[in-house]
């Protein structure tokens, strides 16, 4: 009996208790598991943010290392059918979406990824979204370097110049064997501006000694005598430029000229200011160009012929905005440089951004605004092909330490988009060049041209280093899943240095020549690729200097200008106004004459263009004076002096989300707009830098 009783009292667990415990554990485990996805998402977000910052900082250091070449500014611009550039001053630098239809105001995007305006494709969405809305580089340049040759290639003697933000947008004009239009423009130093008067025979076109490093502005009121003014130019604003003499033939040369200006235009409703950059070609059949003895004469209103602006609407020019430079002639492929004309160049590797300049320019000087000799500059206007292409510069490791060991370089990106991958819109990637952009095609290991997903450019020669596979003659291989590039020797008999092949440009469009085995070790190279996650690294540059202007309305304020609030009937008296494109930039004002401050003038003051304001239907940006301080009304029209751009910003973009294109053009645009909301934009650093103006 007792034994049976003891057996009945043995401790145990019922099935209900076990199930209860399991349920409790499952609830707890599920609660813990639910923590992981958000936690992992945070980790991925932090890693992506860190990578974007690292890319931007690397770009800052790269640009700082070549600070003498920093451009005057980087702006949005559009071409007209004549190849002239019009700066879009009212663009918002924080806009991320592509333009909508100009007629209906409705955005449309085709299933092929083309943005539509009136049913006509105006560009692939990747080139009209986020960072790629601001791509026009103005005035990047430096003095012409001493010439060198490339591997003994005929015609390769020249002064090479690698542009900072290649690859560049390039179009080749096959019939004329040169660049199409003015997509790529190379020009020299600013010519000094002087005041002329055709009525007073100043300048005198018959003088045997004249100044070729200056231009004379002749206002229409001083160009009234037909006997001293070129035919058709009477009563028109014009500029006179002394022509250079060909020392080889003792004849006068006919150069093209780059003319930039802000002119007042009446569209039939009201006056407004338009900023434009024109190229005046030396063809006397052009309405705007004449040659009068030793001078080239250009009519400013007639330069509008053929553009979106009619000469009849021209109302005048802001004199301080007029700048003139002599344009470098593009020498056709296979043609030697003229030893007597330093204003010549060749696009050496075309879209990759290396130019070959006439070696005659290396020792050429021009007179600066103070009359002193200055070296001849080569300055370039161009459009960045795609800010999403990462420019990763490094030096190839010196040598392989031992057999079986291959040096590895970690690239900036952790993951690189492979050619076989898929873009964020669901379409095949194919490489860093869009289909059809053959100017961007480069040779692979065998020399076949195409859109590559990784290009390694030799910055010494402008050539493309052959590789990116694991087969013979490939001196490097890229692990796209980790962002590592491993170098390997293709010639085991050369004491373990890294030997490979380089495809050198041969001077013809799309032409490349194999270097044969050459030493790669120690060369400075630039890796071009796109990173998974829609990364982009973009530089924005404030104008090197700003003209202080006094327009009657906000819509007359153009890029490169600023306005003293309240001085001409609009704006607040404690604000210095700028066009919207300058929002977020920093400037330095040499003098600000003010009221309500301890001193009547504030000198050398840094100002941040941090606010925006809508005035008369136009949105403008502004920098604000210290609290309680206003401009001195008694000094209107000269209370602000010497305003200069002081900042270079590097912005990094990334977007880990995706979307798919459908058959509906409006739905596609809506999907793109929703996707754009997930962009992460970070500005990692702003630093002071002067332009090369």
Q: Which has the minimum average pLDDT: 12-16, 182-186, 306-310, 506-510?
A: 12-16
Q: Using alpha carbons, select from 616, 640, 541 the residue that is nearest to residue 584.
A: 541
% the chain with pLDDT above 70: 92
* H-helix segments, 613-664: none
DSSP 309-337: S-GGGEEEE-GGG-EEEEEPEEPPTTPPP
* pLDDT at residue 35, as a whole number: 61
Mean pLDDT within 580-593: 92
Give yes or no for residue 690 having a pLDDT over 50: no
Exposed / middle / buried, residue 530 (Cβ in 10 Å: 0-12, 13-18, 19+): buried
> Using one digit for the tens of pLDDT, what is the confidence trace for 432-448?
999 889 999 999 999 99
* Residue 453 backbone class (left: φ over 0; alpha: ψ -120 to 50; beta: rest): alpha
> Using one digit for the tens of pLDDT, what is the confidence trace for 626-666?
999 999 988 877 789 889 887 788 999 999 999 999 999 99
Mean pLDDT (the chain) is: 88
* pLDDT at residue 33, as a whole number: 62
DSSP state for residue 196 in the 8-state scheme: -
Tell me the C-alpha distance between 297 and 316, whole Å.
Answer: 17
Cα–Cα distance list, 269 to 15, 313, 550 (Å)? 89, 11, 20
> Using one digit for the tens of pLDDT, what is the confidence trace for 470-495?
777 789 999 999 999 999 888 777 66
SS3 (DSSP) at 20: helix
* pLDDT at residue 32, as a whole number: 66
pLDDT band with cut points at 50, 70 and 90 for residue 109: very high
Tell me the C-alpha distance between 372 and 383, whole Å.
Answer: 33
DSSP state for residue 635 in the 8-state scheme: G
Mean pLDDT within 382-395: 96
Query: What is the gyration radius of the CA atoms in the chain, in angstroms?
Result: 31
Q: Using alpha carbons, select from 566, 563, 565 the residue that is nearest to residue 582.
A: 563
Q: Using alpha carbons, select from 404, 496, 487, 503 the residue that is nearest to residue 448.
A: 503
> Using one digit for the tens of pLDDT, what is the confidence trace for 261-294?
888 888 888 787 787 888 999 988 899 999 998 9
Exposed / middle / buried, residue 571 (Cβ in 10 Å: 0-12, 13-18, 19+): buried
Largest separation between any pair of C-alpha atoms in the chain: 143
Are 608 and 622 in contact by the 8 Å Cβ rule? The answer is: no
92-131 b/e (C-beta count within 10 Å ≥ 16 → b): bbeebbbebbeeeeebbbbeebbbbbeeeeebbbbbbbbb
Give yes or no for residue 28 having a pLDDT over 80: no
Q: Bridge-partner residues for 257, per DSSP?
A: 280, 326
How far from chain centre, in Å, is Cα 553?
Answer: 30
Which range of 1-5, 85-89, 615-619 scores highest in mean pLDDT? It is 615-619
Tell me the C-alpha distance between 443 and 449, whole Å.
Answer: 4
pLDDT band with cut points at 50, 70 and 90 for residue 38: low
Tell me the C-alpha distance between 332 and 346, whole Å.
Answer: 7
Strands 536-541 and 630-631, bridge-based pairing: unpaired
Mean pLDDT within 677-681: 93
SS3 (DSSP) at 37: helix
Are 512 and 503 in contact by the 8 Å Cβ rule? The answer is: yes
> Using one digit for the tens of pLDDT, what is the confidence trace for 396-431?
987 655 555 678 999 999 999 999 999 999 999 999
Neighbouring residues of 79: CB distance < 8 A, sequence distance ≥ 6: 85, 86, 181, 182, 183
* pLDDT at residue 284, as a whole number: 82
Are 115 and 124 in contact by the 8 Å Cβ rule? The answer is: yes
* pLDDT at residue 43, as a whole number: 67
Strands 136-143 and 377-383, bridge-based pairing: antiparallel
Neighbouring residues of 310: CB distance < 8 A, sequence distance ≥ 6: 304
pLDDT band with cut points at 50, 70 and 90 for residue 68: confident
CB atoms within 10 A of CB 493: 8
Asked if the peptide bond before residue 195 counts as cis, ω within 30 degrees of 0, the response is: no
* pLDDT at residue 692, as a whole number: 45
* pLDDT at residue 661, as a whole number: 95
- Judge if pTM exceeds 0.85: yes
Give yes or no for residue 6 having a pLDDT over 60: no
The helix (run of H) or strand (run of E) holding residue 590 is strand 586-595
Strands 561-564 and 545-549, bridge-based pairing: parallel
């Amino acid at each position: 009996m007792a034994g049976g009783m003891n057996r009945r009292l043995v401790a145990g667990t019922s099935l209900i208790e076990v199930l209860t415990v399991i349920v409790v554990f499952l609830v707890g485990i599920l609660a813990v598991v639910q923590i992981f996805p958000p936690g992992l998402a945070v980790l991925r977000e932090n890693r992506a943010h860190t990578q974007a910052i690292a890319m931007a900082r690397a770009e800052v250091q790269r640009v700082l290392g070549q600070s003498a070449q920093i451009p005057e500014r980087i702006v949005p611009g559009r071409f007209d059918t004549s190849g002239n550039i019009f700066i879009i001053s009212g663009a918002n630098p924080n806009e991320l979406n592509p333009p909508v239809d100009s007629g209906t105001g409705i955005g449309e995007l085709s299933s092929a990824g083309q943005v539509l305006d009136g049913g006509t494709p105006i560009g692939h969405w990747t080139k009209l979204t986020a960072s790629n809305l601001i791509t026009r580089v103005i005035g990047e340049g430096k003095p012409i370097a001493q010439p060198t040759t490339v591997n003994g290639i005929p015609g390769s003697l020249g002064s090479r110049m690698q542009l900072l933000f290649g690859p560049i947008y390039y179009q080749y004009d096959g019939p004329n064997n040169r660049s199409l239009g003015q997509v790529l423009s190379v020009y020299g130093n600013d010519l000094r501006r002087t005041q002329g008067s055709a009525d007073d025979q100043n300048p005198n076109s018959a003088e045997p000694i004249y100044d070729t490093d200056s231009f004379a502005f002749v206002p229409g009121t001083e160009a009234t005598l037909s006997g001293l003014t070129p035919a058709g130019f009477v009563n028109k604003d014009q500029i006179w430029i002394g022509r250079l003499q060909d020392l080889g033939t003792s004849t006068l040369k006919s150069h093209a000229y780059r003319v930039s200006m802000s002119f007042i235009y009446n569209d039939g409703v009201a006056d407004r200011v338009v900023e434009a950059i024109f190229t005046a070609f030396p063809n006397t059949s052009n309405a705007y160009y004449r040659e009068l003895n030793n001078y080239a004469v250009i009519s400013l209103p007639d330069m509008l012929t053929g553009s979106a602006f009619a000469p009849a609407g021209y109302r005048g020019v802001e004199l301080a905005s007029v700048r003139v430079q002599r344009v470098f002639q593009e020498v056709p492929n296979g043609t030697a440089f003229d030893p007597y004309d330093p204003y010549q160049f060749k696009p050496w590797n075309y879209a990759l951004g290396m130019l070959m300049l006439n070696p005659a320019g290396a020792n050429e000087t021009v007179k600066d605004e103070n009359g002193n000799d200055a070296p001849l500059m080569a300055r370039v206007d161009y459009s960045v092909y795609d800010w999403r292409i990462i420019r990763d510069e490094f030096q190839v490791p010196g040598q392989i330490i031992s057999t079986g060991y291959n040096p590895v370089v970690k690239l900036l990106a952790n993951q690189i988009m492979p050619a076989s991958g898929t873009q964020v819109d669901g379409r095949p990637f194919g490489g860093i060049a869009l289909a059809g952009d053959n100017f961007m095609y480069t040779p692979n290991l065998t020399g076949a041209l195409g859109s590559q997903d990784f290009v390694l450019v030799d910055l010494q020669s402008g050539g493309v280093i052959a590789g990116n596979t694991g087969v013979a003659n490939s001196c490097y291989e890229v692990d796209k899943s980790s962002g590592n590039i491993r170098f390997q020797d293709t010639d085991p008999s050369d004491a373990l240095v890294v030997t490979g092949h380089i495809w050198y440009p041969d001077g013809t469009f799309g032409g490349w020549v194999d270097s044969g085995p050459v030493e790669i070790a120690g060369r400075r190279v630039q890796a071009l690729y796109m990173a998974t996650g829609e990364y982009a690294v973009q530089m924005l540059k404030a104008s090197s200097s700003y003209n202080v202007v006094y327009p009657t309305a906000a819509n007359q304020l153009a890029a490169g200008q600023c306005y003293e609030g309240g001085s001409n009937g609009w704006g607040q008296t404690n604000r210095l106004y700028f066009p919207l494109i300058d929002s977020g930039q920093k400037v330095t004002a040499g003098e600000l004459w003010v009221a309500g401050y301890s001193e009547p003038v504030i000198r050398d003051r840094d100002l941040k263009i941090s606010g925006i304001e809508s005035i008369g239907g136009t949105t403008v940006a502004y920098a604000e004076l210290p609290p309680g301080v206003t401009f001195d009304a008694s000094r209107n029209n000269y209370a602000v002096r010497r305003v200069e751009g002081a900042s270079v910003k590097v912005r990094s973009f990334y977007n880990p989300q995706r979307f798919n294109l459908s058959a509906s053009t409006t739905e596609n645009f809506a999907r793109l707009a929703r996707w754009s909301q997930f962009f992460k934009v970070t500005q990692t650093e702003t630093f002071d830098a002067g332009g090369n103006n």
